[in-house]
Structure 1
Amino acid sequence: MTLRGASEDYPFGPEPLVMKAGGKMFALIGENDGIPSLSLKCEPLMAELLRQAHPAVKPGYHLNKKHWNTVTIDGSVPETELADMIKNSYELVVRGLTKAARESL
């Protein structure tokens, strides 16, 4: 919520919590088998590198696996790196918005 123009939504029901910028999803927060998880948009090459670097990072759960990663929140991914992944996801989505939508954030 600290990112400019970020908003919460529940378009799929009570879970997951979907974070949006300019009406576009950049994060999904929920649980997989009772374990907290966070799905984030990512450039394909970086998505693959993150999966190789962290066992807790998997292809996006119920998402386009080329462009989304799902991170199991188990403490194995450093908080600073997780924060960078969130910011990167947000920035990818914002870059894809129209100029008018970017300016309205």
Structure 2
Amino acid sequence: MGSDTQPPWPDNRLALTGQLLDDPQTRMTPAGVPVSRFTLEHESGQPEAGQHREVRFRIAVHARGQALQDVIGRLRAGSPVRVLGYLGRSGHRPEQHRLVVFARRIQPLTNETQGVE
């Protein structure tokens, strides 16, 4: 596939920095897979149409699998993190349209590295 060729699937990748609003809550699925959830609060300034726009929101983050549990175990409310993942729908019913971030990677940040690429 050349660099100018579009992939045959839509792109859905996300990178967000922010702080945990609450301690992560972890449960086990019936298959024994750990699932952790927490709320991330993001705050930044973004350029839009030549203007500066303040952006602030909260979004749920779901992290599945043992690989993320070592990081999750060190996080507490107020912890700054960068979450890499994708957006998806919470729940399986068609009428549910609440978006959540499904984490593939979680990076704890220090105050010096928060928001720095």
Structure with greater helix percent: 1
**TM-score where L is the length of structure 2:** 0.27
- Computing the radius of gyration from Cα coordinates, the structure with the larger value is 2
**TM-score where L is the length of structure 1:** 0.29
Structure with greater strand percent: 2
